């Protein structure tokens, strides 16, 4: 008989059992479920809601069940529907009627809200550690490539010279924001819903603060209806993870481009690339492509969650059981992508010569030669036009700007002097862009230091308690 079977005269159809059951995907929350039950029952005993000795026995047996599950000697049953009732059933099999006290003052509605929050809190911590490792790799690479010139792009057309370090540091900023977003999301995960009951709280004198303390939560939910019907935290996390995957996907796209023969800015390590079953010469960036591809499913999960929640009346509705597969898949996907992506970046070979020759071609110093004339008193729009014509001339004669003789330059403006060559060298173009946030080696060095200390404080100042 079902734990809720009292008011029913027939047992459920086997097909319904199968359809209704979530044990296939919520069994992964067994630790959280058991820890939650242990804290609850300890509190019930302490508050005198149930006899102390019953509380102690339940508490102890739950601990044993947890280690038996960890040992792999416990089987869950589809009929018992979900992880919550499976655990309660096992408890009842072990200690009989005493087990029947456990669910006092509690509903599966607040229980499941608790379990998911606990589960996701741990996952957020792990994901943040993984992002941190990626940032550390990028900081190291940036420091090693402070003076490596490469073209910066807009519209995927060569635009202005930058350094490889500067380009990598853009991703550091991007990832630091991902870390902050996750820390913010964590704050809203870190709220304890037990005591909400089915939706209207409970008449038992429960000590909600004690349960929160016991389980390492910073606060308790403020409204019992919201406590059981809120899934914002899952949507928020799915959203943070979608943004993160969008970032990894952009980075992946660049990796894919950079290791083409056409760019050839980097070479992936053999251990982090793959071959072709037919073309012997191929070395493919499968990891980057898969990360780019997997961003699709993570976005899909966000849309699934938003759509699932969008018209649900307060409070709990069974639709909400659908939250788990979506958010678990996002978490699993991100946790699969980050470490391998990090290793791929960590082991790739940078090709400074190729980057430099790409920066030299494509007139990436055109803005700087226009600025040269501005410094000699010509208005920028006029100078822009002059240099536009100069570029057209260069294309016609198959030359770079710095390959034009002074006489040739003077045909465009008599303001050109010998000092122009230094002014438009790629090194000057980069080194003169030394405002904070610019590509000059000194600016990038400063932002590496700043990012390092930010990374440190992001972890130090946040209270992310483990339980
Ligand atoms: N398996 C359910 C879920 O994941 C647990 C809550 C069930 N509550 C209920 N009243 N049927 O949402």
Would you give the DSSP letter of residue 153?
E
Give residues (CB < 6 A) around ligand 1.
22, 26, 82, 108-109, 112, 316, 318, 320-321
Ligand 1 atom nearest 26 alpha carbon: 4
Residues 32 and 217 sit within 8 Å (Cβ to Cβ): no
Q: How many whole angstroms separate alpha carbon 450 and alpha carbon 65?
A: 48
Decide: helix, strand or coil at residue 67: helix
Peptide bond into 58 cis (omega under 30): no
Domain's final residue, options 332, 357, 382:
357
Angle at 233 between CA 314 and CA 329, to 5 degrees: 110
Ligand 1, atom nearest to 81 Cα: 1
> Measured in angstroms, how far is the CA atom of residue 194 from the centroid of ligand 1?
14
**Rounded to two decimals, what is the model's pTM?**
0.94
The verdict on 319 and 421 lying in the same domain is no
Could you tell me the CATH number of the domain that includes residue 247? 1.20.200.10
Residue 442 φ then ψ, to 5°: -65, -35
Q: What is the pLDDT of residue 466?
A: 39
Q: What is the CA radius of gyration of the chain?
A: 30
pLDDT of residue 465: 46
In a domain, residue 137? The reply is: no
* Nearest protein CA to atom 11 of ligand 1, as residue: 318
How many CB atoms within 10 Å of residue 142? Answer: 24
Question: C-alpha angle with apex 339: 338 to 345, nearest 5 degrees?
Answer: 90
Q: 3-state SS string over 431-459?
A: HCCCCCCCCCHHHHHHHHHHHHHHHHHHH
Closest CA to 74 of 23, 140, 16, 108: 23
Assigned domain for 139 exists = no
Residue 392 shares a structural domain with residue 375 = yes
Q: pLDDT tens string for the chain (467 positions)? A: 777 777 888 888 889 989 999 999 999 999 999 999 999 999 999 999 999 999 999 999 999 999 999 999 999 999 999 999 999 999 999 999 999 999 999 999 999 999 999 999 999 999 999 999 999 999 999 999 999 999 999 999 999 999 999 999 999 999 999 999 999 999 999 999 999 999 999 999 999 999 999 999 999 999 999 999 999 999 999 999 999 999 999 999 999 999 999 999 999 999 998 887 777 787 899 999 999 999 999 999 999 999 999 999 999 999 999 999 999 999 999 999 999 999 999 999 999 999 999 999 989 999 999 999 999 999 999 999 999 999 999 999 999 999 999 999 999 999 999 999 999 999 999 999 999 999 999 999 999 999 999 999 888 755 554 33
- Helices then strands, counting H and E runs in the chain, come out as 19, 6
Residues 260 and 303 in one domain: yes
Q: Are residues 353 and 372 in the same domain?
A: no
- Element holding 16 (H helix, E strand): helix 14-20
Structural domain containing residue 393: 361-446
Q: Which ligand 1 atom minimizes the distance to the CA of 316?
A: 10
Q: Which two tokens stand for residue 348?
A: 């790739």
- Note whether 98 and 58 are within 8 A (CB): yes
Phi/psi for 196 (5° steps) reads -80, -20
Whether 20 and 113 map to the same domain: the answer is no
Q: Indicate whether 293 belongs to any domain.
A: yes
Residues noted as catalytic: 155, 276
CA distances from 288 to 62, 245, 295, 364 (A): 44, 12, 11, 28
Do 429 and 302 reside in the same domain of the chain? no
Considering its fold, how many domains does the chain have in total? 3
122 CA to centre of ligand 1 in angstroms? 21
Q: Do 211 and 340 reside in the same domain of the chain?
A: yes
Hey, which of 80, 85, 108 would you mutate to test ligand 1's pocket, going by the most ligand atoms within 8 Å of its Cβ? Answer: 108
Write down which residue in 66, 82, 104 finishes a domain.
104
Last residue within a domain, chosen from 322, 357, 392:
357
* 366 plus 404 within the same structural domain: yes
Name the residue of 27, 82, 120, 198 whose CB sits within 8 Å of the most ligand 1 atoms, as the mutation to test its pocket.
82
CA of residue 417 to ligand 1 center, whole Å: 79
**Residues 205 and 318 placed together within one structural domain of the fold:** yes
Which two three-digit tokens encode residue 369?
A: 């030669």
What distance in angstroms lies between residue 193's CA and the mean position of ligand 1's atoms?
Answer: 14
């Amino acid at each position: 008989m079902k734990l809720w079977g009292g008011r029913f005269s027939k047992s459920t159809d086997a097909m319904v059992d199968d359809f209704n059951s979530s044990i296939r995907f919520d069994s992964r929350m067994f630790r959280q479920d058991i820890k939650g039950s242990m804290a609850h029952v300890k509190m019930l005993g302490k508050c005198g809601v149930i006899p102390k000795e019953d509380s102690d026995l339940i508490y102890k047996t739950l601990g044993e069940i947890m280690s038996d599950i960890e040992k792999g000697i416990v089987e869950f049953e589809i009929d018992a529907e979900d992880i919550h009732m499976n655990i309660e059933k096992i408890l009842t099999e072990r200690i009989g009627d005493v087990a029947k006290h456990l669910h006092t003052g509690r509903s599966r509605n607040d229980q499941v809200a608790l379990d998911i929050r606990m589960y996701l809190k741990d996952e957020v911590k792990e994901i943040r550690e993984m992002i941190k490792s990626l940032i550390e790799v990028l900081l190291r690479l940036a420091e090693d490539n402070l003076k490596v010139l490469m073209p910066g792009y807009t519209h995927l057309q060569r635009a202005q010279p930058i350094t490889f370090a500067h380009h990598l540091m853009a991703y550091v900023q991007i990832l630091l924001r991902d870390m902050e977003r996750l820390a913010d999301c964590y704050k809203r995960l870190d709220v304890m819903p037990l005591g909400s009951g089915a939706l209207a709280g409970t008449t038992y004198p429960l000590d909600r603060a004690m349960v929160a303390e016991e389980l390492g939560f910073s606060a308790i939910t403020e409204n019992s209806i919201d406590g059981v019907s809120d899934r914002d935290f899952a949507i928020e996390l799915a959203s943070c993870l979608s943004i993160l995957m969008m970032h990894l996907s952009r980075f992946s796209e660049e990796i894919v481009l950079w290791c083409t023969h056409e760019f050839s800015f980097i070479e992936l390590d053999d251990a982090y690339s793959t071959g072709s079953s037919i073309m012997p010469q191929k070395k493919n960036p499968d990891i980057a492509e898969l990360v780019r591809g997997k961003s699709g499913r993570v976005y899909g999960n966000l849309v699934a969650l938003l759509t699932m929640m969008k018209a649900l009346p307060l409070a709990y509705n069974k639709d909400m059981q659908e939250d788990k597969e979506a958010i678990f898949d996002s978490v699993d996907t991100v946790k699969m992508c980050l470490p391998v992506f990090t290793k791929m970046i960590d082991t790739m070979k940078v090709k400074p010569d190729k980057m430099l020759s790409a920066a030299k071609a494509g007139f990436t110093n055109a803005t700087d030669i226009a600025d040269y004339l501005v410094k000699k008193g010509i208005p920028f729009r006029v100078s822009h036009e002059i240099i536009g014509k100069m570029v057209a001339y260069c294309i016609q004669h198959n030359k770079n700007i710095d390959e034009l003789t002074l006489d040739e330059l003077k045909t465009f403006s008599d303001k050109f002097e010998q000092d122009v060559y230094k002014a438009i060298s790629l090194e000057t173009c980069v080194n003169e862009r030394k405002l904070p946030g610019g590509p000059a080696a000194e600016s990038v060095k400063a932002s590496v230091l700043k990012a390092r200390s930010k990374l440190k404080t992001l972890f130090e100042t946040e209270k992310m308690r483990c339980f």
